[in-house]
Amino acid sequence: MEVIRAHTRRRPTPRALAIARLIGALYVVTGLCLAYLTLATPFVEVFAAHGRAVSNENAFHALGWLMALALPAICLVLGTHRILDFTELQNPLSARRDPLAGLGSTLGQDYVAVRDLILPGGRAVGTLIVGPHGIVVLGQLPSADVARLVDGRWEAVADGQWVAIENPLERTARDAEAVRRWLASDEHGFVVKVYAAVVAGDDSVTRNAATSVIGRGQIPAFLASLPPHRTFSSDRRRQILDRIRAILD
């Protein structure tokens, strides 16, 4: 499954990846060497020794400690960031919150996910999945730690108090309707099926007439349960994706 989003970074060439990782490795090695000098040699003691004939002895000591402590840490951080920035590794903390995490190997090439879509007029739609079924606008319920459902109303914590917020299911349904209207405005009579669904961490929230509620691991099964959109051919999907890419760019 391909994932497209606004300002997607192009994948570097293998040569560029190798050079970037080599530079990162050099940073890491330099940081380790400086850390070794600091911990295993009298490097710091040379700078920290008193009685030197310098105009500002305290500044000289500060420079020594800065080189001994800050430089190894900076080199290690820069090197690690450089290596990981050009590696397709998923942040485990982000993956727990990302409804699309792990779906790349589950869904086939017929599915394309769209992230961070801004429709004309400024409405933001977080996640879409385009496939043989049509389009699914995928929302996400807020964490139970910061939001709750009371007598059919949603509330969230703000400044230590519970305040009313927009119903996530209704918002996702409105997002789906906005996507449907936008696509219908330029499809010459062809109407794309657009579904609304939210990802929930538990079973405490039930679906409504317009929006389905699915678990984190149920997205592939939910997509498979949708009826095929027989007129939504691969050519039409490509046209839709080209239009989406145009506004993402």
Same domain membership, residue 238 and residue 152: yes
For the entire predicted model, the pTM comes to: 0.62
Is residue 189 a part of any domain in this protein?
yes
Alpha-helical regions (H) of 2-143: 14-40, 43-48, 57-65, 71-85, 92-97
Domain span at residue 15 reads 9-85
- Kindly report the number of other CB atoms within 10 A of residue 32's CB atom: 14
pLDDT score recorded for residue 149: 83
- From CA 222, how far away is CA 170, in angstroms rounded? 19
129 three-class SS: strand
DSSP for 206-233 reads ---SSEEEEEGGGHHHHHHHSPP-TT--
Pairing of strands 161-164, 194-200: unpaired
Is residue 59 a part of any domain in this protein?
yes
pLDDT in tens, 150-164: 887 888 888 778 888
Same domain membership, residue 103 and residue 35: no
DSSP annotation of 41: S
pLDDT in tens, 87-139: 544 444 344 456 676 676 678 788 898 988 898 888 889 889 999 999 999 98
Contacts of 185 (CB under 8 A, 6+ apart): none
Domains in the chain, number: 2
Any idea which of 20-34, 42-56, 118-132, 161-175 has the lowest mean pLDDT?
A: 42-56
Does the pLDDT of residue 7 top 90, yes or no? no
Is residue 70 a part of any domain in this protein?
yes
**Of 61, 85, 109, which one is at a domain's C-terminal end?**
85
pLDDT score recorded for residue 93: 38
Same domain membership, residue 111 and residue 77: no
pLDDT band at 180 (very low <50, low <70, confident <90, very high): very high
Is residue 90 a part of any domain in this protein?
no
**Of 85, 116, 142, which one is at a domain's C-terminal end?**
85
Residue 136 structure tokens? 């699914």
Range 4-25 average pLDDT:
73
**Of 34, 55, 85, which one is at a domain's C-terminal end?**
85
Same domain membership, residue 244 and residue 121: yes
Same domain membership, residue 211 and residue 176: yes
Same domain membership, residue 155 and residue 66: no
Is residue 92 a part of any domain in this protein?
no
Same domain membership, residue 175 and residue 126: yes
Contacts of 244 (CB under 8 A, 6+ apart): 4, 114, 117, 128, 130
pLDDT band at 49 (very low <50, low <70, confident <90, very high): low
Same domain membership, residue 103 and residue 76: no
DSSP for 86-137 reads TS----HHHHHH-TTTT-TTTS-TT-EEEEEEE-TTS-EEEEEEEETTEEEE
pLDDT band at 225 (very low <50, low <70, confident <90, very high): very high
Cβ pair 194, 131 in contact under 8 A: no
Is residue 4 a part of any domain in this protein?
no
- From CA 175, how far away is CA 210, in angstroms rounded? 11
Backbone angles phi, psi at 56, to 5 degrees: -135, 90
Same domain membership, residue 102 and residue 78: no
Same domain membership, residue 240 and residue 153: yes
Same domain membership, residue 135 and residue 71: no
pLDDT above 70 covers a percentage of the chain that reads 79
Residue 163 structure tokens? 């305040």
Is residue 121 a part of any domain in this protein?
yes
